């Protein structure tokens, strides 16, 4: 099957609930978004919302921060896991436990556990006796130089969490409290075999990418033993999934290498390629509205912003100020199936005002044409932040700022 770059872009966005607009609403919508998107990256930095909240806000109308807390810590609809911490739907717990048991953790953490197993087991027993503790409750332990924790018991909690012996029970701000996995999710299911684990993890990873080409290979996971030839191992694994029929090769215009898509998604891809909008993707609002994407959203992370949109995006929050090209916390602006620019939103200190401090528009963007949908998106973003006022800084000429202020007022009536 041959598809256009536009079809690929729309299909990827559609499978992630981002095109042609928001189709989920409220708590139930957040629940469906988690089940559909399969992974949401987590980061503690909170400038205009945590990264995980920004991901849901871009997809779910009326999303609030407490919706995610309800899903994770009351309903147990998902769990947090991974070195690059992410939220996954609950049905993936068996697969992740199988991975840990069959493939193990990165070598440095396996070595740490082997040397400190007695300590880790004593921490585990203590959790079993008295319920969810927090890392700082053991702050009197031996001090260590590690960015994960400053004391050995904190590292034990981290490794036990990576091993899925414990899960995050709840959070208070960015403070995590842990509980035994069995208490939170019930008796463990039978683990998958090593081969099944490797292949099912690959299917899950490539499936959430929608259509993926060469850039998708880097997302795959392999065993520590294969790291020396990991890219070849990943390519062989990807090809095996095509060979057994779980994925299908498609050709994207202008690209030499074939992309792949999950076989069960082919009817949906064919519909999009014919210019049709799948019924289940119909947006709640017919009028176009921009969305601000989370920094590590799956549709832009790992260089996908360049592959899908021809858009260079760098998340510069952890860069020294002098090395930043744009700004501290800059978010891409999605309108329809295009990234039209990037903005730097901030919440004014001591106030409830949202300031769109700066904007950088892509070449060829008609600012008069995008002003209304962009303003509607900013109004929606302000509602998510519960900001009473919206102001615009260096986003363009005064005529554009005046137009945006007017459109925001209309959208928030």
Q: What is the predicted pLDDT for the residue at 300?
A: 97
Q: What is the predicted pLDDT for the residue at 139?
A: 59
Three-state secondary structure string covering 274-306: CCCCCHHHCCCCCCCCCEECCCCCCCCHHHHHH
pTM of the shown model: 0.95
3-state secondary structure of 227: helix
Q: What is the predicted pLDDT for the residue at 368?
A: 96
Q: For 72-120, how does the pLDDT look when each residue is reduced to its tens digit (9 = 90+)?
A: 999 999 999 999 999 999 999 999 999 999 999 999 999 999 999 999 9
Lowest-confidence region among 141-145, 163-167, 352-356, 399-403: 141-145
DSSP 92: G
Q: What is the predicted pLDDT for the residue at 257?
A: 87
Average per-residue pLDDT for the chain? 94
Beta bridge partner(s), residue 332: 342
Q: For 144-154, how does the pLDDT look when each residue is reduced to its tens digit (9 = 90+)?
A: 888 788 788 88
Is the domain covering 314-411 a CATH 3.40.630.30 domain?
A: yes
Q: Which of 86, 83, 84, 74 is nearest to 31 (CA)?
A: 74
Cα 256-261-262 angle, rounded to 5 deg: 155
DSSP state string for 127-172: HHHH---BGGGGTTS-EEEETTEEEHHHHHHHHHHHTTSEEEEEEE
Q: For 361-378, how does the pLDDT look when each residue is reduced to its tens digit (9 = 90+)?
A: 999 999 999 999 999 999
Q: What is the predicted pLDDT for the residue at 313?
A: 93
Q: CATH 3.40.630.30 in the chain, residues?
A: 314-411
Q: What is the predicted pLDDT for the residue at 343?
A: 98
Question: pLDDT at residue 138 above 70?
Answer: no
Q: What is the predicted pLDDT for the residue at 226?
A: 61
Cα 198-78-380 angle, rounded to 5 deg: 120
| Banded pLDDT at 143 (limits 50, 70, 90) | confident
Q: For 168-206, how does the pLDDT look when each residue is reduced to its tens digit (9 = 90+)?
A: 999 998 889 999 999 999 988 999 999 999 999 999 999
Residue whose token pair is 């999710």 = 185
| Banded pLDDT at 326 (limits 50, 70, 90) | very high
Q: What's the mean pLDDT in 326-350?
A: 94
Question: pLDDT at residue 253 above 80?
Answer: yes
Render the burial of 351-367: b for 16+ CB within 10 Å, e for the rest.
Answer: eebbbbbbbebeeebeb
For residues 344 and 357, the answer to whether their CB atoms sit within 8 Å is yes
DSSP 229: G
DSSP state string for 151-163: EHHHHHHHHHHHT
Residues above pLDDT 70, as percent of the chain: 97
Long-range CB pairs of 155-158 (<8 Å, 24+ gap) are 155/112, 155/116, 156/116, 156/119, 156/120, 156/123, 157/123, 157/133
Indicate the helix (H) or strand (E) that contains 268.
Answer: helix 266-273
Token digits for 88? 């996954």
Q: Which of 351, 398, 407 is nearest to 377 (CA)?
A: 407
Q: Return d(Cα 369, Cα 59) in angstroms, integer.
A: 23
The gap from C-alpha 396 to its chain's centroid, in whole angstroms, comes to 30
Token digits for 46? 């909170």
Question: pLDDT at residue 224 above 80?
Answer: no
Residues above pLDDT 90, as percent of the chain: 84
């Amino acid at each position: 099957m041959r598809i256009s770059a536009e079809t690929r872009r729309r299909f990827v966005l559609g499978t992630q609930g981002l095109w042609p607009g928001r189709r989920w609403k409220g708590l139930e919508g957040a629940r469906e978004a988690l089940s559909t998107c399969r992974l949401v990256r987590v980061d503690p930095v909170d400038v205009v919302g945590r990264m995980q909240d920004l991901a849901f806000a871009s997809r779910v109308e009326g999303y609030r921060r407490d919706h995610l807390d309800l899903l994770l810590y009351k309903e147990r609809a998902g769990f947090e896991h991974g070195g690059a911490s992410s939220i996954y739907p609950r049905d993936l717990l068996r697969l992740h436990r199988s991975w840990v048991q069959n493939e193990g953790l990165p070598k440095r953490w396996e070595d740490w556990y082997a040397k400190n197993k007695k300590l880790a087991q004593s921490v585990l027993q203590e959790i079993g006796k008295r319920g969810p503790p927090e890392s700082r409750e053991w702050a009197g332990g031996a001090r260590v130089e590690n960015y994960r924790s400053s004391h050995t018991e904190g590292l034990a909690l981290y490794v036990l969490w990576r091993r899925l012996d414990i899960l995050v029970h709840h959070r208070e701000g960015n403070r995590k409290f842990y509980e035994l996995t069995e208490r939170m999710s019930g008796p463990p299911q039978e683990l998958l075999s090593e081969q099944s684990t490797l292949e099912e993890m690959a299917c899950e990873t490539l499936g959430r990418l929608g259509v993926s080409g060469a850039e998708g290979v880097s997302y795959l996971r392999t065993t520590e033993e294969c790291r020396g030839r990991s890219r070849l191992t990943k390519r062989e694994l990807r090809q095996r999934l095509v060979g057994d029929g779980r994925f299908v090769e498609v050709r994207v215009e202008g690209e030499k290498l074939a992309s792949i898509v999950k076989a069960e998604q082919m009817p949906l891809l064919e519909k999009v390629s014919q210019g049709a909008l799948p019924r289940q993707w119909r947006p709640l609002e017919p009028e176009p509205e921009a969305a601000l994407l989370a920094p590590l959203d799956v549709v832009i992370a790992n260089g996908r912003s360049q592959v899908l949109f021809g858009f260079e995006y760098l998340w510069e929050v952890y860069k020294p100020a002098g090395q930043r090209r744009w700004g501290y916390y800059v978010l891409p602006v999605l309108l329809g199936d295009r990234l039209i620019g990037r903005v730097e939103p901030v919440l004014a200190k001591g106030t409830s005002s949202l300031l769109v401090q700066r904007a950088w528009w892509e070449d060829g963007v008609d600012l008069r044409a995008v002003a209304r949908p962009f303003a509607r998106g900013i109004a929606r973003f302000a509602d998510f932040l519960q900001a009473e006022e919206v102001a615009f800084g260096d986003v363009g000429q005064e005529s554009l700022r005046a137009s945006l202020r007017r459109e925001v007022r209309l959208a928030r009536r």
